[in-house]
Structure 1
Amino acid sequence: MSEYTPVDITPPELRPAALAHHVPDWAEAARTPADVTDWPQRQAAALVPFELDDRGWPLHPHGRTGRTGRNLGKWGENAAADPIVVAGTGKERQVLLITRDDIGVEAIPGGMVDPGETAPAALVRELREETGVDLSDHRPIILGRDLVDDWRNSDHAWVASTSALYLLPATVTAIAADDALDANWYPFGDLDQLDAAITAAGRTLYAAHRPLLQSVLDHLDTAVKPDQTR
């Protein structure tokens, strides 16, 4: 059996020596999972159940990732919220995507749930911060609570997201801000059409969000009525 040699993806600002002097406002101070004291609470609150190894370190629910260390705010699960906004029906249907400022690809607006914040509140906040679109008076459809194949995932720190669908009768003005470099509406009849439109714009769709977008299309195959609950 070959030896498992994962790559440490911990950035300089989260390495133990750096944390001893300064903790970024988006990260916890724990240098390793051994410094975390509330694993039972984190496991109970997790969107996706996970186990601890014999050292008491959290294990990615899907197993080895080829990466170790931490490039996320917390050890273990990092809860995120992904609001998926779709406007129109039929040939006029479009989806709202942003250009991420960290990896420069087209993605669903969204981000991490803040401490003490609920997922529904995070959905509204992230959408408003990144696109200027305020859907606080709309009722979303919760599509799932799932692991995300995020580029920052490691064996001991990963992202799990609450994804929610907002259906609008027509597009609304979106203006990029916060973590978004741009915000645009794209045709959304299926993933092939979306890919073609994004490619034509000289951009690339974030691979980790493809399953979430497909889940929207699957849902719309069975229910295609805009939510106008106000």
Structure 2
Amino acid sequence: MADDNLPNRTFTHPDVFTRGIAEGWADPRPDPRDLTADEWTQRIDEAWIPFTLVDGRPVNPREQTNIRYGRNLLGHWAEQKCADALVAAHDEHGHRRIVMIDRRDRAGWALPGGYVDPGETALDAAVRELREEAGLVLPMATWRVSPPLYVRDPRASCESWMVTKVARTDLGTYTTLPTLTPSDDAAQAAWIPADSYLALVTHLRAVHGGELFPAHRELLAAALS
């Protein structure tokens, strides 16, 4: 049996082949070499962060994980485009809060977000996920969309990874913050104090007994600095 710490480890979680395929979030093809040359050409051309193929297998452009072959806990081959909504507001004392959801899969507290569907822009996807997961619709908001960001996601591998764009808006000062209604992938939705990254994670632990979603730690540390 191969040592799990070796960088040439092969692993795809069994859920990818069962639940993932049944629910539609996983590619049913068990090997990246099952994709056609035209499919790979399209994926490389459309990638937000350039990547290469070696012997028909994609290579993670940003990091070497401990899983060289396979998809770990992700369903796709190579880059998956995502979008996240970072919505801020301030109370009358100038303290910042941001919208966060407690993921239903118990992976932690995260920004509303998810996959960019075919034909969507990153902003379209972020606004949709904000509505679906937090019940928040902001027709008059002014958004800024970040450049592509590689996501350091513990579910990734050297052949399957996430790239996101963050859509940000600041709603200004509120005495009563807009109501949030969790649904879809969210068990809870809340306005979390976020004057700093430390304030955010401290509040999640002290008040909600929760942790920050690992894939959003680096992203939010940078965004809230």
Q: TM-score when scaled to structure 1?
A: 0.83
2:32 pairs with 1:33 = yes
Mapped partners of 1:103, 1:36: distance in 2: 33
Aligned to 1:215: 222
2:11 pairs with 1:8 = yes
Displacement of 1:146 in angstroms is 1.0
Mapped partners of 1:7, 1:194: distance in 2: 36
Identity %, equivalent residues = 36
Mapped partners of 2:150, 2:182: distance in 1: 26
Q: TM-score when scaled to structure 2?
A: 0.85
Report which stretch shifted further, 105-114 or 207-216.
207-216
2:149 pairs with 1:146 = yes
In structure 2, relative to structure 1, the CA distance for the partners of 1:137 and 1:39 (3 Å cut) is farther
RMSD (Å), alpha carbons: 2.3
2:159 pairs with 1:188 = no
Provide the secondary structure at the position in 2 that maps to 1:128. helix
Provide the secondary structure at the position in 1 that maps to 2:129. helix
Q: Superposed, which structure 2 residues align to 1:50-65 within 5 Å? A: 50-53=51-54, 55-65=55-65
Mapped partners of 2:182, 2:75: distance in 1: 24
Aligned to 1:92: 95
In structure 2, relative to structure 1, the CA distance for the partners of 1:196 and 1:134 (3 Å cut) is same
Q: CA offsets, 1:53-75, max 9 Å, x none?
A: 1x111111124211242232320
2:212 pairs with 1:205 = yes
User: Which structure is higher in strand share?
Assistant: 2
Q: CA offsets, 1:140-183, max 9 Å, x none?
A: 11123111111221110111001121111233111111011101
2:16, 2:75 within 8 Å by CA — same for their partners in 1?
Answer: no
Report which stretch shifted further, 107-116 or 61-70.
61-70
The answer for unaligned runs of 5 or more in structure 1 is 219-230
Q: How many residues in Structure 1 have an aligned counterpart in Structure 2?
A: 212
Report which stretch shifted further, 59-68 or 184-193.
59-68
Mapped partners of 2:138, 2:83: distance in 1: 14
Aligned to 1:178: 184
Question: Which of residues 76, 79, 82 is equivalent to 2:81?
Answer: 79
Mapped partners of 1:179, 1:25: distance in 2: 15
1:33, 1:57 within 8 Å by CA — same for their partners in 2?
Answer: yes
Q: CA offsets, 1:46-101, max 9 Å, x none?
A: 11111111x11111112421124223232000010011111116642101111112
Mapped partners of 2:80, 2:40: distance in 1: 13
Provide the secondary structure at the position in 2 that maps to 1:162. strand
Aligned to 2:159: 156
Q: CA offsets, 1:184-210, max 9 Å, x none?
A: 111111111112211112111123212
Q: Which amino acid aligns with 2:220?
A: L
Provide the secondary structure at the position in 2 that maps to 1:144. coil
In structure 2, relative to structure 1, the CA distance for the partners of 1:12 and 1:204 (3 Å cut) is closer
Provide the secondary structure at the position in 1 that maps to 2:56. coil
Please list every run of at least 4 consecutive aligned residues from structure 1 whose deviation after the TM superposition is greater than 6 angstroms: none
Mapped partners of 1:206, 1:133: distance in 2: 20
